[in-house]
Amino acid sequence: MNSTTAHTVKSFDDDLRLLRSMIGEMGGLARSQVNEAITALLSHDVELAKRVVEADKRIDELEMEAESFAISIIARRSPLAQDLREVIAALKIGAVIERIGDYGKNIAKRVEALSSSGYRGASAGVEQIGSMASTLVDDAMRSFAERDPFLARAVSDGDEAIDDYYESLFQTLLGEIAEDPENTAPATHLIFIIKNLERIGDHATNIAEMVHYSATGEHLEDRPKGGDATGLSLPL
């Protein structure tokens, strides 16, 4: 349902394009935040981690800008139908990306504690889940950029893999704590980190879902719920 017709008032198109590009930029930033946070974590690069923390401000700023701009578009243009859905989706996607950025920052903030702890377990698993999350964000943003409801649906499906992977990593880390109580603090940090990455996956799914709504006007049937991965399946 890609609409190729332009608005009679071209500046309306310009506005929408600008809004999309703001969101797109945010998405790109958030994704690289996540990547760099993981890199910093794996390479124990405290400096890089600090930069990631610093860079999050930019995303926050962008989000506020995008939000104001979306509100301004609504106020100025009274968009309807597809246009309205698109603006609302942008508004909500912006908030979600900001959250992804925050997760990235949160991961980066834990880097110093982890690197100073000397604990080096589960790094392959973290790298793996990190790249899964990053890819998911990437796909979600691509579906947004291309207004592609099919890709969006694929993203939504892709989230399950990350959830499963999180479960197994979580088990592993719990095991490590049980193995050596010294590991408790760093492993707990790592648990939070992988939880964050799992949440990033959920949020990417949210984005995809909004893209689907914006493009088709219909909600995806099984709406995956954010913050809902409890890891309940773990035997206790």
Ligand X SMILES: O=P([O-])([O-])[O-]
Residue numbers at the binding site for other proteins (CB under 8 A): 3, 5-12, 68, 71-72, 75-85, 217-218
Residue nearest to ligand X (CB): 227
Non-local (6+) Cβ contacts of 32 within 8 A are: none
Residue 103, CA distances (Å) to 71, 109, 182 in order: 26, 10, 26
Which residue lies nearer to other proteins by CB, 103 or 213? 213
Angle at the Cα of 160 (from 151 to 147), degrees rounded to 5? Answer: 15
Burial of 161-200, coded b for 16+ CB within 10 Å and e otherwise, reads: ebbebbbebbebbbebbeeeeebeebbebbbebbbbbbbb
Q: State the binding partner of 17 from other proteins, ligand X, a second copy, none, CB within 5 to 8 A by kind.
A: none
3-state helix, strand, coil in the chain (%, to 5): 80, 0, 20
- Please tell me whether residue 232 binds a second copy under the rule CB under 8 A: yes
Helix or strand run (H / E) with residue 1: none
CB of 144 to other proteins, least distance (A): 19
Which residue lies nearer to ligand X by CB, 73 or 136? 136
- Please tell me whether residue 231 binds ligand X under the rule CB under 6 A: no
- Please tell me whether residue 78 binds a second copy under the rule CB under 8 A: yes
Q: State the binding partner of 10 from a second copy, other proteins, ligand X, none, CB within 5 to 8 A by kind.
A: other proteins
DSSP reduced 3-state for 12: helix
The CA distance from 78 to 31, in Å, is 32
- Token pair in block for residue 26: 């945010």
Site for a second copy in 116-135 (CB under 8 A): 116-117
Which residue lies nearer to a second copy by CB, 74 or 142? 74
Strands (E), 55-162: none
- Judged by CB under 6 A, the residue of 31, 147, 189, 199 near ligand X is 199
Which residue lies nearer to ligand X by CB, 26 or 215? 26
Contacts with ligand X by CB under 6 A lie at 99, 199, 226-227
| Site residues (vs a second copy, CB under 8 A) | 56, 60, 64, 71, 74-75, 78, 80-81, 84-85, 88, 91-92, 95, 99, 102-103, 105-106, 109-110, 112-113, 116-117, 174, 177-179, 181-182, 184-186, 188-189, 191-192, 195-196, 219, 223, 225-228, 230, 232, 234, 236
